[in-house]
Amino acid sequence: STLSGLQYLTAEQLGGLTWDTVGGSWKRRLHTTQIFAQVIDPQTPLPVKLEIFQRLNQGGAPLTAHEIRNSISRKRSRDFLRELANSPAFLQATGCVFADHPRMADFEAVLRVCAFRIEADLGRYEDFGGLDDFLTAAARRLDNEKKFPAARLEQLRTEFERAMHNALGIFGKHAFRKQRRVAGYLF
């Protein structure tokens, strides 16, 4: 396969080359580069995976709770949250404050709304260790097609958009705002 889409090297340096055509100095450099990987058994319980991920994440810029949640979520929930975060209803209700948020605050705000719609018995909220555990459980439920079939996903999409339209209709440009800022906890 060809080397392409490189993050640090330009196309002139390695772009389009294969292992057979890349020069000897580059081969040596690639062979001597250390790659560190932590392999976690797929059977490891989710709380343990999260703990390991958080400990490994201590070195660089700490990830937000949702960035960590996103890293262990499946494509189904990630795509669903992305779609709702980019929906005109959400963008209008929030005044585009969250639009393409670099730390995924838009996805978390959407997940908050969805989590409380998914969990009909709000008294069960206390059964979770806190908001992060509650949101993680909701994301896992969205990922499970057996527990959350496509028809229920479509229903949730409709309910979410209706909630955004209603919030905008009732509160106008002040929906989800507290003193000129969007307040995430209002979601």
Average pLDDT of the chain is: 82
Query: pLDDT per residue over 141-150, tens digit each?
Result: 999 999 899 9
Largest CA distance in the chain: 67
Residue type, 39: V
What gap in Å lies between CA 25 and CA 28, rounded to an integer?
A: 5
Model confidence, pTM: 0.66
Q: Which of 28, 27, 51 is nearest to 38 (CA)?
A: 51
Please, which pLDDT band fits residue 130 given cuts at 50, 70 and 90?
A: confident
Query: pLDDT per residue over 11-60, tens digit each?
Result: 666 667 777 887 788 788 877 888 777 788 888 888 888 788 777 766 66
Say what the pLDDT of residue 143 is.
94
